Chains A and B, each alone.
Chain A
Amino acid sequence: MEKKNINRRDFIKIVGISTATVSGLFYGCGKGKSDENTSSDPTSPVPVDKMTYRTSDRGDKVSLLGYGCMRWPTLPSPAGDGNVIDQDAVNELIDYAMAHGVNYYDTSPVYVQGWSEKSTGIALKRHPRDKFYVATKLSNFSNYTRENSIKMYKRSFEELQVDYIDYYLLHSIGNGGMKTFRARYIDNGMLDYLIEERKAGRIRNLGFSFHGTQDVFDEVLAMHDKVHWDFVQIQLNYVDWRHASGRNVNAEYLYAELEKRNIQAIIMEPLLGGRLSNVPQHIVDRFKQQRPSDSVASWAFRFAGTWDKVLTVLSGMTYMEHLQDNIRTYSPLIHLTDEDKEFLEETAQLIKKYPTVPCNDCKYCMPCPYGIDIPAILVHYNKCVNEGNVPKSSKDENYDKARRAYLIGYDRSVPKLRQASHCIGCKQCIEHCPQDINIPRELHRIDSFVESLKQNKL
């Protein structure tokens, strides 16, 4: 083993020497890069013991990369017990993550059609309980009653096969304003109940995840003196930092408020459901000019991880390649310089120019009672926006190519019966969207765009 390592290092050195001169000619600023690049270099093995850890107020040593269990790979058809998740793939991903130092796993009773907790629990059960932290949530969106909420809370223990939960969250507060917040947690006494549970040790840390308007955030944060929030989960990335979409609050403000109160932040949507990885080509080129061997996604993760009050950064990694890439990024984390932050702010402004719909494919809006595949429609639209396949008029230079790509791709990614033309505008989805997208309006807009493409009347 030892010998092998030396050999590898020698090899890298030799390659490094021979390429250094060449790369120096092409990239003017090569200072101090050779040592930084070792982990992100895609040809080197994924580091096992280089993960950056943050220490929580209670002394938990949490890996900076947290595993979001909202996007587990699914089976083409459900397994015998009805589970839609590909359990073998989940086991493999979690084993790999554990082996490479990832120790924080974030799930919810409603994720992946309600199967995420169970599958995550099965995979984690195969590891010692003191080697991982598990987070889950009170996702009482549809039924606020105390009985139902307590039932949901207790069920999480069974599904996850644990007798304590490390991090417990009030799920997605902010949607529906203070009124909904009170109905979900105050009026039914659930918050008091959970505080008691924390005292009893069945919950080790209590916090909330936030999407929505500033007034709710401020008011719930003001309860800190009484409740003592151990952590708060916020949406943070270099676009939302200063350019939050819809009613959402800029992450710069959210983070500053937490920092003020010395509350640790857990980051969600660091990559906006992949939207910050799947960017237009010229933005990819921008990133590659800065750090040729780094992935586009790594910039977003470095941005999210660079803030000291951040405990962990969640990523819903469906694919092994994404897991590996993220492990590289945080093994160890290379902090952003001030120039880097400025560069990302400029990039955010460029990205904002593209009229994408701010959908992160979280599927909270699903299932649509009328069978529409909402995220698939929006994701396809965004993909075409980024690839320049949403023509403005039939006189556009690439109109024919773009039209074909849009229409054929549309039928491929969304079956006809689930396309936007079938959206009746019942508005039942709107309240579920954490990004505050007016889904029916967007679907109708996309539908009329598709219609004019089909009729060649753009």
Chain B
Amino acid sequence: MLRKVRQILALVFFLCITLLFLDFTGTIHSWLGWMAKIQFMPALFAVNTAILVFLFLLTLIFGRVYCSVICPLGVMQDVISRFSGMRKKNRFTYSPALFYLRYIVLAIFIAAFFLGAGSVVALLSPYSSYGRIASNLLTPIWQAGNNILAYFAERAESYAFYSTEVWIKSLPTFVIAIVTFIAIFILAWRNGRTYCNTICPVGTILGCISRFSFFRIEIDRDKCKNCRLCARQCKSSCIDIKNHNIDYTRCVTCMNCLDSCKYDAIHYVSRFRKNKVNDVKTISHAEADNSRRAFLATAAMITAGSALKAQEMKVDGGLAEIIDKKVPHRNTHILPPGALNKNSFAKKCTGCQLCVSVCPNQVLRPSTDLMRLMQPEMSYEKGYCRPECTKCSEVCPTGAINLISLADKASTQIGHAVFIMENCVAVKDKVECGNCARHCPSAAIKMISIDKEDKNAPRIPSVNVERCIGCGACENLCPSRPFSTIYVEGHERHRMI
């Protein structure tokens, strides 16, 4: 029964959090955004005391249910492990804790946290790891499925679906996501929760608390026949039947052992109620099978539609070719409005990719810079930071990007435009343009004659950096390719103008 409850809750959390990453329309966030905010790492980075206290109490009362229900990476491992278990049953055995490895990783994590080494933190945080996997590996499949629906919707004259662009936003992050996924997949396939109990810093921290948890799994020594069935079901390899001991720092309270015992010798009880027998109903095999089937169906639905067709609109041959824009060299990277300043952002961001996933304008992408690896930054080759959008600030669970209103965003200077004369089409092609000035939302660009004397000479932009907010409309809409004639240089500290 308890196992069933855990499984259902875990699946709900897992699917909902995954949806947060998949939903590029950003509508689900208003309903489910809290699910990202109650994750341990984001709460820690946001210094969200209420949630941290809640998680500590939760663990102190029930044990590490966080790891088996709330943490999407943990649930993902359970899912993988379950598939593995279908091939080979009873495959776990007890193994002693890798004490040093756990605490060394934790020490590295704490050091990185205080030193502000965002890339190390992002690499170790389980929520960020899952975010990377979801946004890099699942999102493209989801979007492809959406695009297929959009393809048919278009033919049916329906506006229910619209197609989105699928692209790799940062190769290093993509590679890291794949490597993380493969590593965790192998660990989970072979040994269940090895990652959670050796590498994951959250697992280690919560383990210290769950050692003293009020409710916990206990073995009734009188009833136990030392058959080891429970230990063979234990993904955390924490049941030591020889000594009838359970390593509570590693137990994730998955309740699998409860159902495995044929002698009613293992229970989830209060630590102070010694060996009181509770009625624990066993789940019939038929039921287990059903739930497995249900899970398979959902998994199949998510992965369905890998045939990628009609991704981008076919180009009529009568159209001039458009060269892709290249990323200009920026001395200071650009951070989204609400990030306030470079250093505080780097310290607070866990690199979970949620903002990258929801950015509807293809502006945010994970950084490739070693110190800020996987943390988001902005660039305007595919779009610009549009005035009606504050999605990234709405979804950020850590407060690295603070919630910002549209009005505040319109007056927050995140960078300023820089003009490079040689690239301007007014100079190169001798044509009239002014597209930057026409689209500047803060009217910071005026067109001026290139020649003081000649009023009819080609006109070039004159940028008033005091008014410029760095949204990148000018850079994105500049006809000069591959390098725009006007580009945005980031500001280390954002200011209100």
Contact = CB atoms under 8 A, between A and B. Distances in A.
Interface of A: 74, 76-78, 84, 112-113, 363, 366-371, 373, 404-405, 408-409, 411-412, 414-418, 421-428, 444, 451, 454-456
Interface stretch (B230-238, B273-281, B290-298, B426-434): B426-434
Contacts of B434: 424-425
A426 B431 CA distance: 6
B318 A76 contact: no
B contact residues, range: 20 to 34
Given A404-B159, A408-B159, A422-B477, A427 B313 contact: no
Contacts of B86: none
Contact of B318 (A113, A411, A425, A454): A113
Contacts of A416: 383
Contacts of A425: 432-435, 438
B479 interface: yes
Given A404-B159, A444-B438, A426 B432 contact: yes
Contacts of A112: 318
B319 A367 contact: yes
A368 B317 contact: no
A164 to B, nearest CB: 30
Given A409-B159, A425-B434, A454-B388, A418 B322 contact: yes
Contact of B388 (A415, A417, A455): A455
B316 A373 contact: yes
Given A367-B319, A456-B388, A421 B439 contact: yes
Nearest to B426: A424
A288 to B, nearest CB: 20
A425 B431 CA distance: 9
22 contacts: A84-B317, A113-B317, A366-B318, A366-B319, A367-B320, A368-B320, A370-B479, A405-B159, A411-B162, A411-B163, A412-B154, A412-B313, A415-B312, A416-B383, A417-B322, A418-B322, A421-B435, A424-B432, A425-B438, A444-B438, A455-B386, A455-B387
Interface string B163-195: 100000000000000000000000000000000
A419 to B, nearest CB: 10
B321 interface: yes
Given A77-B314, A112-B318, A366-B318, 17 more contacts: A74-B316, A367-B319, A370-B479, A404-B159, A405-B159, A412-B154, A412-B162, A414-B313, A415-B313, A422-B477, A422-B479, A424-B435, A425-B434, A426-B431, A426-B432, A444-B438, A451-B439
Nearest to A455: B388
Given A405-B159, A412-B162, A369 B320 contact: yes
B276 to A, nearest CB: 60
B171 to A, nearest CB: 22
A456 B387 CA distance: 10
Pairs of residues from A and B, 8 with the lowest C-beta to C-beta distance, nearest first: A426-B431, A424-B433, A371-B322, A84-B317, A408-B162, A367-B320, A455-B388, A415-B313
B307 interface: no
A421 B386 contact: no
A369 B439 CA distance: 20
Contact of B321 (A366, A371, A404, A421): A371
Contacts of B439: 421, 451
Contacts of B315: 415
A79 to B, nearest CB: 11
A373 B322 CA distance: 12
Contacts of B433: 424-426
Interface in B366-397: 383, 386-388
A422 B435 contact: yes
A236 to B, nearest CB: 27
Nearest to B430: A426
Contacts of B438: 425, 444
Nearest to A406: B159
Contacts of A444: 438
Interface string B318-329: 111110000000
Contacts of A405: 159
A373 B154 contact: no
B76 interface: no
Contacts of A84: 317-318
Nearest to B473: A421
Given A412-B313, A415-B313, A456-B388, A421 B477 contact: yes
Contacts of A451: 439
A261 B477 CA distance: 53
Given A424-B425, A424-B479, A425-B432, A370 B317 contact: no
Contacts of B317: 74, 77-78, 84, 113
Contacts of B312: 415
B148 to A, nearest CB: 14
A39 B162 CA distance: 41
A74 B314 CA distance: 12
B386 A454 contact: yes
Contacts of B313: 412, 414-415
A29 B252 CA distance: 84
Given A418-B319, A418-B322, A423 B435 contact: yes
B312 to A, nearest CB: 7
Given A408-B162, A423-B435, A425-B434, A363 B477 contact: no
B319 A371 contact: yes
A371 B477 contact: no
Contacts of A77: 314, 317
A377 B435 CA distance: 17
Nearest to A412: B154
Nearest to A454: B388
Interface in B304-348: 312-322
Nearest to B314: A76
Contacts of B162: 408, 411-412
B475 to A, nearest CB: 13
Nearest to A369: B320
Nearest to B150: A412
A371 B429 CA distance: 15
Interface string B418-444: 000000010001011111001100000
B322 A367 contact: no
Interface in B398-423: none
A455 B176 CA distance: 36
Nearest to A426: B431
A198 B146 CA distance: 60
Contacts of B314: 76-77
A443 B159 CA distance: 24
A417 B476 CA distance: 10
Contacts of B318: 84, 112-113, 363, 366-367
Nearest to B431: A426
Contacts of B316: 74, 373
Contacts of B386: 454-455
Interface in B28-50: none
A76 B479 CA distance: 26
A211 B393 CA distance: 55
A424 B431 contact: yes
A245 to B, nearest CB: 24
Interface in B97-114: none
Contacts of A455: 386-388
Contacts of A78: 317
Contacts of A421: 435, 439, 477
A112 B316 CA distance: 10
Contacts of B320: 367-371
Contacts of A113: 317-318
Contacts of B477: 421-422
A411 B431 CA distance: 27
